[in-house]
Each structure stands twice: as structure tokens, then as C-alpha cells.
Chain A
Amino acid sequence: MTAQPVTFLGRAEAIIGTREAQLVNQGMRHLTEMRDSAVAEFPIMDPLRDRARVIRLHALANLDRLLSHFTDQVIEQGGEVHFAADADEANEIVARILEETGSRLVVKSKSMVSEEIHLNPYLEARGIEVVETDLGEFIVQLAGDTPSHIVAPTIHLDRHDIGALFARKLGVPETFDPTELNQIARDHLRQVFLRADAGISGVNVAVAESGSLITVTNEGNGRLITTAPRVHIALLGMERLVSRWVDASVILEVLARSATGQRLSSYTNVVTGPRREADEDGPQQLHVVVIDNGRSQILGSDTAEILACIRCGACLNICPVFRTVGGHAYGTVYSGPFGSIVTPGLLGMEPWWELPYASTLCGACEEVCPIRIQIPSLLLKLRARAAAEGRLPGWLERGIRRYTNTVYTPTKWERAKRLAHTLSSPISRDGWIRRLPGRGRGWTAYRDFPRPARESFSAWWRSNRGT
């Protein structure tokens, strides 16, 4: 395997113009259209977004109290709660639970936080077999790939890729028919479900008042995972709580519509405690692992608002940069506009400070965010942090300093404009420059640049209107 380029731009350049980029763009446009029509037929979407924002911000402001109440409730219902300060601790806790319960085969439903902490390789290194059961994640796992989108992990693949993959890895006859492909995965996974010792799931929303865990999926796998195996381990990002059921219902109303344009996901699964005596099914043990892994640090910073995110992916779907490069360019599981804010917070500014710069600041993300998170403003805050910490490349920092000094002094600005016109003479034709020197080469690699005018506007004004 060749080494992955180390910068966003490097990874992006490797993707732009490829079939992957084309599939991502098509997929994103489709999801955005679905979202738009779902919102159009739902007149109370905007007031509900306002409400959802209040609910999420309230939860963040009271997170300590909610977590404590939630924990009490889970225990009351017969479950156990574990707190993990970082990824290592979270992985250790999961491995210990699996060891103590003698679990060798684990089935997983979709959990982005498990990608965040790199749980699968950790468990596999300890001889535990982990099988992803979300169709997209199953495909990603078979392919040895990574998800390219938090909601649609295989948006960069099409049925031909998947048909070929199944034939190669599962030894089935090659087919490109989506229904048949689905059936192949289902047959394969059903066998695994029956043998699995433990199920690991993520959590979309945790309800503090009852200690309930809500997961939304469009496949039945999430429900099987939390009911069939003996042990259920739920991985909960520390911030994903709401106080009450009435709050959760608002989040669910805006989540599915924003994510896939559905009124409600096909499955809204609620787990409250492990199996009780009268229950016909359900796990004997329920463990909730509450994962911090940098969230406390974000909570105490000027980008805390991003923790209100409910991971619908709408900001990815509409982002012109994400549409062009896809999730893999971001180098981490949380991509797109929200990911560019979350990642430097969770994983540190180095090397992730560059992600907030991977944006045109067009503001389309904020317009679709169901929580109305002020994404461009948060990106700007992280840019200011990066600049203050001296992380900007020298050419950029020097360039802005020089520009500031020039425009701060009007006489220097006048001189600079005249000089730019004169110096551009040998490289200009018809008022345009085909090749700029220095960093300007990046611009002229793809487009012409206008030649600085012979007579600037202010010079014209002086000659014609000046007093």
C-alpha cells in the first residue's frame, strides 16, 4: 500500500477527477435533494430546528447533571456505565468486558465513535473477531477501506464495485443487482448473528430521564445486535444526551429529514436496560461506555457549540468542498464542515489545524444544519486559533502581513498598485496573466488572473472627480 498523502490538499488532489469524486458528488446532490423535499413538505421544520437547537445547547450547558442522571437511570434499569477519558481507555474497557464475558465473536452496528477510537483493529489484535453488520460498514470492512461519509459510508462506491468485492471476498457468483447484493450480505450476516457472543452499537441520542439509548437505522441489524447476543455494549459519545423524551422526539424529527430526507428512519430502536425476567429476548448484560476523548476540552473552548451536532451529515451533503473531494480527503472519520471543527478539537491542532481552511466559507452548511450550528463562524474561530498559535505556512503569514502593511498606508497602496501594473507587463496579454510567479502559480495553474489596471479606480477618481 502506498503511503497516504499527509495534507488535506495532497489527499484531495489524489481524489479530484476520479470516479470516487464523481460518485460522492452525485450521492451528495441526491441526499441534498431528498433533504430539501422532506423539509419542503414539513412546515414546522424551521421552528423545530429552533427548538432542537435550544434542546442541544441546554443539554451541553447541563451535561454534568444529565450524565449523572443518565448513569443512575441505566444502573437502575440493570445496566452498567463505564467512563472512558480517551480512546485507549475506551478500547480497554470494551476488551475487558468482552474478555470477562468470554466473547470471541462480536457483531457491530454502525458507530462512528468506534471508528474514532479505532476499536476494530484494537480488538482484532486481541484475537476477537469483529463483524460490521451495517451494510455500508460491512462493505467497508470487507474492502479494507474506511467510511467516506458518516451517514453513507460507501457513497464512494457503486454496485459494480460492491458486486466485484462480494464475488472476490465471499466467493459468491458476481452480480450487480442491488437486491441480490443485499440478499448476499443478509445471508452471510444472519449466520454471524446467530453465533455472535456480543453486540456493539453506537448511540444517536441518549435520554437522561429514563437511561434509554436510541439508535436510528434503515436496516434491521441495529435491532438484532441489541437483542440477539448475550452482551450489548453501547458506545456513547459523551455529548449525545438530551434531558427528556419530549426532547428526543424533536431531535428525531429533524435528524432523519436532514440526513436522508426520511420522515423517520426505518428503525428507531430504543434500549432501556438489559433483558428483564418477563422479556422474550434481549441481552443478559448491557454496558454503556461513555467516551470523552477530547470532548471535555471542546466543551471548555470557543468551539463548544459543535458538540450540539447530531451527526445528520447534511453539512457534508451540501458542502461544495466535500462534494468535490469526499470524506477520505479529510484523513479522519469526521469529515466535511462539522468534522473540520470536531477533529482539531478531538485529535489536537497538529496536524488537523488545516481542516478549517478546507472551506470556502460559503455558509451553505449553516443553512441546512438542523441545530443551526454557526459552522462558518466556528471555522473562523479555529482559523484564528491556528494563526495565533503560529501554525500558518510562512508564505501565507508573510503575505497577509505584507498586504496589511501596504494597505494600511494609502501611499504604499498607491505605489503597490502602480508597481504591480508595471511588473506584470512582461507576463500579461490582453489584460490577463497566464502564469503568476510564486504562490500565485496555484491560481494560474487553473485560471487566468486579471492584470492590475494601468489606472486604478482611485487614480481615475483623482484625475476626473478629484478636488
Chain B
Amino acid sequence: MEGPTVQLVVTCLVDALAPQVGRATVTVLERAGCQVEFLAGQTCCGQPAFNVGMLTEARRMAGHTLDLLDVTQGPVVVPSGSCAAMMTRHYGELFAATDREQQAERVGSRVRELSQFLVDDLGTGLRASCDGCLVAYHHSCHGLRSLRLRHQAEVLLSEVEMAELEGSEECCGFGGVFAVEMPAVSAAIMNEKLDRIEASGANILVGGDVSCLMHLEGGLRRRNSKIAVKHVAEALAGDDL
């Protein structure tokens, strides 16, 4: 199967804190028949500054990302609903009525979150498989509500046994800088989520955003929990599980 050439944007968190998710994303995209290109020089989409309200800084970071991607063509694939939403939805707002407006629109319209790209665009037959796994899936908010992702991950995980997770569409309390600015509130929301994950009986937690997952995994570790945490790309890559 010959797939398209894609530009991989791994996000700053994957690059620095979870490179295994980036490697799994490459594996999965190649298995789906894609040619993967990765531009050195990519860093951060600018969401941290944007969410704090520091728009000058957000525009600098976003402008850097736009310039980098604008010389390429084809789909831009991001293993994060949150960063993909930043690029598809908020770049337009950031650069409205500026000379980058069209560039933001041009690049933004090429951006796809990984599961969205695999299922909606490629119609891939790839499915995660895992013997003895009972998976709880955490729908991250920005993918769920900004990008309207839901069924994509369910399709990719359809051959895995899924646990019933109460409130699987409720926020985990991460919230970006919120997690550091208001840590007690963030952690209280997280703990309610972790209680539910533990109550679901799952032995593996899967999600589409490293940001929420590192927050949840960090919390599970404090509880000495045995529940493993994986990005959906890792679940699909399989041999990394």
C-alpha cells in the first residue's frame, strides 16, 4: 500500500520527555504505508504561551512552526490532539488580520491528529492488539471537544478488550500551566480520575496526548499503581508494549 508523504510534528513534550511515543508514531505511520519526514528545527507549537495569554511569545513560537512547515506539502501529522487543535484552530485566531493570516490557514488546514489521520484520512486497517490487556481509554479534552475526535481511537483499539471507565470524557485536571499554577486543584481533579481508572479494573491506560498521560502516570506512580500508561501510537506499534 502506497501512502502519502507526511510531515511529522512530534511536539515538544514528546521530543524531550517521551521520545518513545515519537518512535512509535514513525513505526505506525510507516506500517500504514506513509513516507515519514521530520524537519529538524521543529520545537514547540506555542500553546503554553498562548494559554497563559502571552500572545507576543505565542506568535513567535507559532510563527517559527509555520515558517518551517510552510515550505513542505502534504499532511502534517501530530500525535497530540491538543497541539493539533492549537495549530488548526488557534493559529488562525493568533494571526487574524496579520500578514501571516493566510499562512496560518494554509498550514493549519494540513494538520491532522494521528488517530484522525490514520482512521479518517487513510482508513487504515491497523488495529492494536494486546493479550491479557484490559484497556481504559482517556479522551483528552482538546481532541474530544476542539477536534471532535472520539470514534477514531475506538476504531484503532477495537480488537483490544476495553474496560468501562466512568467519566472517560471528563477532564483529567492537567490543563497545561494550570498543573503548575494551581497544583492542588489540578491534583484533586487528577485523583478523582485515577480513582475511576483503578476502579475500572484496567491494567493499561491509553490516551492520545502525552501531556495528560504524563500527569496521570506521574499520579499513578505516587500510588504505587501497577497500571501501565501508553500513548495510542505505542499501543498500535505493539512490540513496544
Give the B-binding residues of A (Cβ under 8 A): 8-9, 12-13, 16-17, 21, 25, 320-321, 324-325, 357-364, 366-367, 377, 380, 382-388, 392, 396-397, 400-401, 403-404, 406-408, 410, 413, 417, 420, 432, 439-440, 442-443, 445-453, 455-462, 465-466
Q: Are B185 and A325 in contact (CB under 8 A)?
A: yes
Across the interface, do A401 and B185 meet the contact criterion of CB distance under 8 Å? no
For this complex, 27 residue pairs linking A to B, each with C-beta atoms less than 8 Å apart, are A17-B188, A324-B192, A325-B188, A360-B175, A362-B171, A364-B170, A383-B53, A387-B53, A387-B54, A388-B55, A392-B53, A396-B177, A396-B181, A400-B54, A404-B54, A404-B57, A406-B43, A408-B64, A443-B179, A443-B183, A446-B219, A447-B222, A450-B217, A451-B17, A452-B16, A453-B16, A457-B10
Q: Is the CB of B180 within 8 A of A446?
A: no
Contacts of B74 in A (CB 8 A): none
Q: Is the CB of B189 within 8 A of A400?
A: no
Q: Is B228 an interface residue (CB 8 A)?
A: no
Question: CB-CB < 8 A to B218: which residues of A?
Answer: 432, 443, 447-450
A320 lies within 8 A of B171 (CB): yes
In Å, the complex CA distance between A16 and B182 comes to 12
Q: Are B51 and A362 in contact (CB under 8 A)?
A: no
Q: Which residue of chain A is the closest to B63 with respect to CB atoms?
A: A408
The residue in chain A whose Cβ has the minimal distance to the Cβ of B178 is A360
Question: Is the CB–CB distance between B43 and A360 below 8 Å?
Answer: no
Pair A455/B19 contact, Cβ less than 8 Å = yes
Q: Which residues of B contact A439 (CB under 8 A)?
A: 180
Decide: A360 and B171 in contact? CB cutoff 8 A.
Answer: yes
User: Across the two chains, which residue of chain B brings its CB closest to A449?
Assistant: B218
Most buried by A among B14, B43, B48, B55: B43
Distance of A131 Cα from B51 Cα, bound (Å): 44
B49 within 8 A of A: yes
Find A380's partner among B23, B38, B50 (CB 8 Å cutoff).
B50
Interface residues on B, range: 35 or more
**CB nearest neighbor in B for A10:** B184
* Cα separation A222 to B64 with both chains bound (whole Å): 59
If over half of A's interface residues share one DSSP class (helix, strand or loop), that class is named, otherwise mixed; here it is helix
Q: Are B184 and A13 in contact (CB under 8 A)?
A: yes
Asked if B149 is an interface residue, CB under 8 A from chain A, the answer is no
Which single residue of chain A is at the shortest CB-CB distance from B170? Answer: A320
Give the distance to chain B from A431, nearest Cβ to Cβ, in Å: 10
B residues less than 8 Å from A420 (CB atoms): 16
- B196 part of interface (Cβ distance < 8 Å): no
Neighbouring B residues of A12 by C-beta, 8 Å:
182, 184-185
Q: Mark B171-205, 1 if CB is under 8 A from A, else 0.
A: 10111111111111111111010000000000000
User: How many Å lie between the Cα of A432 and that of B185 in the bound state?
Assistant: 22
Which label, helix, strand, loop or mixed, suits the secondary structure of the B interface? Answer: helix
CA gap between A226 and B11 in the complex, in Å: 60
Query: B124-132, B140-148, B156-164: which one contacts chain A?
Result: B140-148
Question: Given the complex of chains A and B, what is the CA–CA distance between A357 and B219 in angstroms?
Answer: 22
Chain A residue with Cβ nearest B59: A404
Task: Report the bound CA distance from A55 to B93 in whole Å.
Answer: 26
Residue B96 CB within 8 A of the other chain: no
Q: Mark B1-29, 1 if CB is under 8 A from A, else 0.
A: 00000000010101111110011001000
Residue positions of B touching A, CB distance < 8 A: 10, 12, 14-19, 22-23, 26, 38, 40-44, 48-55, 57, 60-61, 64, 93, 141-142, 145-146, 170-171, 173-190, 192, 214-215, 217-219, 221-222
Of A17, A397, A408, the residue contacting B54 (CB under 8 A) is A397
Closest residue of chain A to B210 (Cβ to Cβ) is A450
The answer to whether B183 touches A457 (Cβ under 8 A) is: no
Chain B residues in 8 Å Cβ range of A397: 54
Known: A383-B52, A410-B43. A457 touches B190 (CB 8 A): no
Q: When A450-B18, A460-B19 are in contact, do A387 and B55 touch as well, CB less than 8 Å?
A: yes
CA distance A448 to B182 in the complex (A): 16
The answer to whether residues A360 and B141 also contact, given A320-B189, A324-B188, A443-B179 and a CB cut-off of 8 A, is yes
Q: Is the CB of B178 within 8 A of A442?
A: no
Chain A residue at minimal CB-CB distance from B221: A448
When C-beta atoms are compared, the residue in chain B nearest to A401 turns out to be B57
User: What is the distance, in angstroms, from B175's C-beta to the closest C-beta of chain A?
Assistant: 3
Flag if A9 contacts B171 (CB, 8 Å).
no
Most buried by A among B22, B183, B186: B183
Q: A363-B145, A383-B51 are in contact. List 12 more A-B contacts (CB 8 A).
A: A360-B175, A387-B54, A396-B181, A400-B48, A403-B48, A408-B60, A446-B219, A446-B222, A447-B190, A448-B217, A449-B214, A453-B17
Complex: how many Å from CA A452 to CA B13?
A: 9
A320 CB to nearest chain B CB (Å): 4
Residues of B contacting A377 in the complex (Cβ-Cβ under 8 angstroms) = 93
Cβ-closest chain A residue relative to B18:
A450
Contact pick for A453, options B19, B55, B215, CB 8 Å: B19
